[in-house]
Chains A and B, each alone.
Chain A
Amino acid sequence: MSARTHAFIVCSPHARTGVTTVARLFADFYTYTNQPFVGFDTDPHESQFAQCFPRDVSIADLATIQGQVALFDNLLLTDGVPKIVDVWTRAWKSFFDIATTTEFFAEAGRRGVRPYLLYIPDGSETALQTAEDMVARWPEIGLAVVGNEGAAPLGPNGLDYLARFPAVHTFEIKALDPLVRRAIEDPGFSFSKFLTDPSDSMSIVVRASLRAWLMPVLQQFQSFQLKLAMEDSRYF
């Protein structure tokens, strides 16, 4: 059996938890490490994820059957290329409704596609309950929980809260100083480009802050990738 293809579904049941930022960071990790990926942006109105990666990310409007086919059929391709999906808050229900209707997760398991949810909770018990329900309902998925301090602060007991999730991996993304955040809000900004070729026009303070924020995130992604590689080694 060949190695599995990974499908990373970046999502949150609540709005304004930083789903697109996490999707961007994850995609930029692949770009920075010269690994191919294919992305999908489910927000047809403000497709920020697609704007950041115009070559690699396409828009899949789940309100249309064409968008559904474009997303789910491609997620099932066992081509070894990781897929990253930015599930917009308003597409959350559609995404999981379609997954239910089509029995997507079971089919993914059969085909050798391993779906991971990069799940961003907002600190509520309902977010925890939703995650537990999903893992119980779809044992084929791997849950990776993301504490996104900047967009969805979890408070002083955030780590304890994250530890309660039935997750295979936990990410912590620290809050970014608002001044520095402005720099990354431009869709033309690329984390990977910043690391390899930072703009001279950017303040040295901003650069230092951004690098200090970004590197631990990328290290966590690398650690996660190694973990997946070890898990998948038994499929070779």
Chain B
Amino acid sequence: MKPTVILVGADKGGVGKTTVSRALLDYLAANNILARAFDTEFPRGTLMRFHPNQTEVVDITSTPDQMKILDTLETSGPKVSVIDVRAGQLATTLQALQDVGFLDAVKEGRYNFIVLHILGSSIASLDEIAETVPYVADAAYFLVKNFINDTTFFEWSPQTYANYFKKAKHADDIVIPKLNEMAYEQVELAGVPFSTFGANKKADGSAANSSFVLRGYVRTWQKTIAAEFDRVGLPAIIEGKPVAAKE
């Protein structure tokens, strides 16, 4: 299996990038796909708080940290590297990946490259797509509509969206549903992965005493997300298998 880099990012803040990264790490673990994660919210990472055993906080703009990620793609145990890109850094990160030749290596087929572009409701998010598209010609590019923050995408007309969407050749939609606020809050307070909360465990693996109802909401939410990741063929992309073209 060749190494895979999954970039989770957006240029807008507060659209739920880290939530999607957390859900993604849970999904990969549930599918027995070993992954490591890089949290670019330097110096204090939110992702690190929830997945400390597999996350490292890095400064994506610094050369040593870029080396830490990219130079170890072949040699690290986990073949999947999830990069949670901090707000406002998506375009910068893609530019950096181009500058160091990573995108060329993807084009040559040495690496799989997946971009989960988290969209906000504003029209600015659509402009972001246009800015991102030039970098993702050889990537599996997913536009993620994240409803976790009760986003309504009210400003978008379907025609406008379709117009922007078609600019990305290999793009597909992923919908992240809303998670009940209290359930979300309790997971935040517990400071554990969603899967750990759902299993009624603490970070150290001992039994927790979390509400059954809230855990149920979290489990159902995770199942819905897993169905979305399955639908777009995420495991197949990671394994380098051909994915059925979207309808």
- Residues on A facing B (Cβ under 8 Å): 65-66, 68-69, 72-73, 76, 98, 101-104, 107
Main secondary structure of the interface of B (DSSP, over half): helix
Which residues from A are CB-within-8-Å of B219?
102-103
Q: CB distance A65 to B213 under 8 Å?
A: yes
Q: In this complex, which of B181, B183, B211 has the most chain A Cβ atoms within 10 angstroms of its Cβ?
A: B211
Instruction: Identify A69's interface contact among B181, B214, B220, CB under 8 A.
Output: B214
Cα separation A73 to B181 with both chains bound (whole Å)? 18
Separation in Å of the B197 CB from the closest CB of chain A?
Answer: 13
Separation in Å of the A110 CB from the closest CB of chain B?
Answer: 11
Which residues from B are CB-within-8-Å of A103?
216, 219
B42 within 8 A of A: no
Cα separation A76 to B210 with both chains bound (whole Å)? 13
Which residues from B are CB-within-8-Å of A104?
212, 216
Which residues from A are CB-within-8-Å of B212?
72-73, 76, 102, 104, 107
Separation in Å of the B242 CB from the closest CB of chain A?
Answer: 35
- Residues on B facing A (Cβ under 8 Å): 180-183, 211-217, 219-220
Asked if A102 meets B216 with Cβ closer than 8 Å, knowing A69-B211, A73-B211, the reply is yes
Cα separation A68 to B180 with both chains bound (whole Å)? 12
Which residues from B are CB-within-8-Å of A65?
180-183, 213-214
Which residues from A are CB-within-8-Å of B214?
65, 69
Which residues from B are CB-within-8-Å of A107?
212, 216
Which residues from A are CB-within-8-Å of B181?
65
Cα separation A103 to B182 with both chains bound (whole Å)? 18
Which residues from B are CB-within-8-Å of A72?
212-213, 216
The 5 residue pairs across chains A and B that have the minimum distance between CB atoms: A102-B216, A65-B182, A72-B213, A69-B213, A101-B220
Residue on A nearest B181 in the bound complex, by CB = A65
Please name 7 pairs of A and B residues whose Cβ atoms are closer than 8 Å in the assembled complex, sorted by A.
A65-B183, A69-B182, A98-B216, A102-B216, A103-B216, A104-B212, A104-B216
The count of A-to-B residue pairs whose CB atoms sit within 8 angstroms is: 37
Q: CB distance A102 to B220 under 8 Å?
A: yes
Cα separation A98 to B211 with both chains bound (whole Å)? 13
Cα separation A76 to B220 with both chains bound (whole Å)? 19
Residue on B nearest A102 in the bound complex, by CB = B216
Residue on B nearest A70 in the bound complex, by CB = B213
Q: CB distance A102 to B180 under 8 Å?
A: no
Separation in Å of the A41 CB from the closest CB of chain B?
Answer: 18
Separation in Å of the A164 CB from the closest CB of chain B?
Answer: 33
Residue on B nearest A67 in the bound complex, by CB = B213
Cα separation A165 to B215 with both chains bound (whole Å)? 33
Residue on A nearest B210 in the bound complex, by CB = A73
Q: CB distance A101 to B211 under 8 Å?
A: no
Separation in Å of the B213 CB from the closest CB of chain A?
Answer: 5
Residue on B nearest A72 in the bound complex, by CB = B213
Knowing that A65-B213, A102-B213, A102-B217 touch, tell me 19 more A-B residue pairs with CB under 8 angstroms. Answer: A65-B181, A65-B182, A65-B183, A65-B214, A68-B213, A69-B182, A69-B214, A72-B213, A73-B211, A73-B213, A76-B212, A98-B216, A101-B216, A102-B216, A102-B219, A102-B220, A103-B216, A104-B216, A107-B216
Separation in Å of the B218 CB from the closest CB of chain A?
Answer: 10
Residue on A nearest B209 in the bound complex, by CB = A73
Which residues from A are CB-within-8-Å of B180?
65
Q: In this complex, which of B180, B212, B216, B219 has the most chain A Cβ atoms within 10 angstroms of its Cβ?
A: B212
Residue on A nearest B216 in the bound complex, by CB = A102
Which residues from A are CB-within-8-Å of B215?
102
Cα separation A138 to B181 with both chains bound (whole Å)? 28
Cα separation A109 to B15 with both chains bound (whole Å)? 39
Which residues from B are CB-within-8-Å of A98?
213, 216
Which residues from A are CB-within-8-Å of B213?
65, 68-69, 72-73, 98, 102
Separation in Å of the B69 CB from the closest CB of chain A?
Answer: 38
Residue on B nearest A98 in the bound complex, by CB = B213
